[in-house]
């Protein structure tokens, strides 16, 4: 119970892990990856548009957008679509997610958001800012309305540029670049509602409110700009050109990759739209038997069983003893009265000894083995019994053991000499 209270979250049974990882965990990763891509894109497109304008305003820190619209950009105009996508989007439903665990692999390899995706989002936002600013700038440069009025003013450029920005950013998140695969009534409401909310704020701020209410704000210079700009073809031409240049290539690129190199999730979505049921031949799960081969099927491929992870854990260190190799030495320092490991004063026999070709104690020319002798003052000779079992009268004797061995019951001492054994017990 203490572990549950100290944890971030807990589960009742291990069987709940399957749905937690394969369904909700995978959905969460996809939503977060799309959210980050859209977040970086829309803010780079928004910020760099004002950067390009600084070259034409003498670096006077004047913004190309109205201050009220800047405050509402991330708060109202572009917040709801990304929140709906980050909380409701699904590439496939939960049934397919459980049926095909292969869908979990892209998250383990960070395929949906990595450094390459981040750089692409930055470059995409930079290119979008160039198009959003310079197309309206070129359309309104030395332009005049049919009545002869001059359209080459700051208010017309600011309103047209910000309108193009909101339309393009909303189009990117909704159906083109970031592939909203799960459409609901909430998704439609927040996407179309964001556009309606933007135009409502513009009409309210620049047309419907009394002049006396906004005369002391920076929006007063743009009063009446909505009607004056929307009746000109330059506004609609700029809006159309910006949308075509920025949305059409992304749409064609999406259709190209979907048709030529569809992902596994794309194939499952197409199969579902065609009314095909999930294949059952891939779903036959055999009974898993845990054996020694399954614990370590590949040499050097040890995984920790303490937690789920995207990388190799500490299983190899634990099994090879590298993680706790100094624990006993540390204990020995704390408890100096007890010896954990033998020291140089203790008896440590040499483990490897040579076998000479001849020995002084060998009369038959048979090579004898020298046993290790320790350096302890009270040397205890090592002895080794040879052929202590007589197989000559046994029914299971080998073919070569037809008579007792001449070396039966021979004891080889540590100095290489042989003698007859007194007993069959090995002396140590």
Quote the pLDDT of residue 220.
85
Q: What dihedral do alpha carbons 166, 172, 176, 182 form, nearest 10°?
A: -100
Residues in the chain, pLDDT under 70: 175-179, 276-428
Quote the pLDDT of residue 242.
96
Within 13 Å and on the Cβ side, how many CA atoms surround 363?
A: 4
- Distances in whole angstroms, Cα of residue 266 to Cα of each of 90, 182, 262: 12, 13, 6
Quote the pLDDT of residue 333.
54
Quote the pLDDT of residue 356.
46
List, in sequence order, the alpha helices (H) in 109-232: 115-139, 154-174, 185-203, 211-214, 225-230
pTM of the complete model: 0.64
Q: What are phi and psi of 116, to 5 degrees?
A: -65, -40
Quote the pLDDT of residue 407.
59
Quote the pLDDT of residue 13.
83
- Hey, where are the domains in the chain? 16-273, 349-428
């Amino acid at each position: 119970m203490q572990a549950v209270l100290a944890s971030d979250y807990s589960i009742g049974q291990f069987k709940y892990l399957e749905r937690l990882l394969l369904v909700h965990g995978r959905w969460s990763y996809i939503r977060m990856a799309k959210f980050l891509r859209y977040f970086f894109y829309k803010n780079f497109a928004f910020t760099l548009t004002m950067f390009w304008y600084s070259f034409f305003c003498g670096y006077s820190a004047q913004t190309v957008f109205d201050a009220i619209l800047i405050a509402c950009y991330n708060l109202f105009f572009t917040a709801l679509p990304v929140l709906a996508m980050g909380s409701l989007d699904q590439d496939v439903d939960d049934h397919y997610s459980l049926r095909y665990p292969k869908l979990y692999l892209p998250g383990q390899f960070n395929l949906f958001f990595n450094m390459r995706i981040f750089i692409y989002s930055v470059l995409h936002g930079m290119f979008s800012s160039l198009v959003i600013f310079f197309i309206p700038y070129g359309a309104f440069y030395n332009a005049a309305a049919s009545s002869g009025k001059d359209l080459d003013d700051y208010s017309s450029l600011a309103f047209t540029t910000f309108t193009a920005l909101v339309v393009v950013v909303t189009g990117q998140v909704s159906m083109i670049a970031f592939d909203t695969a799960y459409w609901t009534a909430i998704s439609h409401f927040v996407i179309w509602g964001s556009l309606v909310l933007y135009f409502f704020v513009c009409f309210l701020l620049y047309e419907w409110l009394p002049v006396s209410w906004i005369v002391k704000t920076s929006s007063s210079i743009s009063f009446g700009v909505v009607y004056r700009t929307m009746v000109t073809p330059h506004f609609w031409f700029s809006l159309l050109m910006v949308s075509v240049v920025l949305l059409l290539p992304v749409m064609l690129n999406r259709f190209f990759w979907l048709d030529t190199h569809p992902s596994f999730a794309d194939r499952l979505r197409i199969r579902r739209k065609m009314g095909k049921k999930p294949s059952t031949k891939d779903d036959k799960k055999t009974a898993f038997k845990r054996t020694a081969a399954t614990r370590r099927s590949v040499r050097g491929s040890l995984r920790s069983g303490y937690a789920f992870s995207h990388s190799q854990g500490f299983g190899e260190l634990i099994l090879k003893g590298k993680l706790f190799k100094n624990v006993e030495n540390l204990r020995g320092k704390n408890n100096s009265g007890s010896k954990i490991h033998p020291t140089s004063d203790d008896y440590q026999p040499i483990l490897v000894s040579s076998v000479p070709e001849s020995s002084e104690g060998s009369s038959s020319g048979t090579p004898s083995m020298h046993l290790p002798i320790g350096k302890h003052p009270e040397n205890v000779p090592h002895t080794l019994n040879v052929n202590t079992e007589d197989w000559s009268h046994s029914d299971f004797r080998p073919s070569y053991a037809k008579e007792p061995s001449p070396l039966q019951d021979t004891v080889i001492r540590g100095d290489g000499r042989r003698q007859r054994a007194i007993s069959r017990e090995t002396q140590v």
